[in-house]
Amino acid sequence: MKPPRPHVRATALDIRHDAAQACFDCTVDGLRCVIDYRLIDSVMHIAHTEVPPALEGRGIAAALVRFALAHARAHGLKVNALCSYVRVYMQRHADTHDLRA
């Protein structure tokens, strides 16, 4: 039986924006977590959020979404949440409703 992995606080993540690859990502325990998007005009179409199963439940996906939405807000972009996780996140957080495309 493997020993439990230490809990990584989502606030301690080193999330980066890779504009060339149109994604936001971070690495936790050697595993890549990512949000992919397409930018069309002034709308960020967020297509996919992925956190490996071994890292689920740590708040990593939510931290990635917050980072991506903060980026959109700072750059005057609207968001089209094609990804179901992002769509539900935005539904649950009224402070993001103004970002909806």
Low-confidence ranges of the chain (pLDDT < 50): 1-9
The whole-number pLDDT of residue 1 equals 41
Q: What does the block give as tokens for 76?
A: 């005057």
- For the stretch 43-52, pLDDT in tens is 999 999 999 9
pTM of the model: 0.87
Torsion on CA atoms 77, 11, 53, 62, rounded to nearest 10? -30
Integer Cα distance of 50 and 62 in angstroms: 11
Task: Check: CB of residue 35 under 8 Å from CB of residue 25.
Answer: yes
**Residue 59: Cβ within 10 Å count:** 17
- For the stretch 80-94, pLDDT in tens is 999 999 999 999 999
Integer Cα distance of 39 and 54 in angstroms: 30
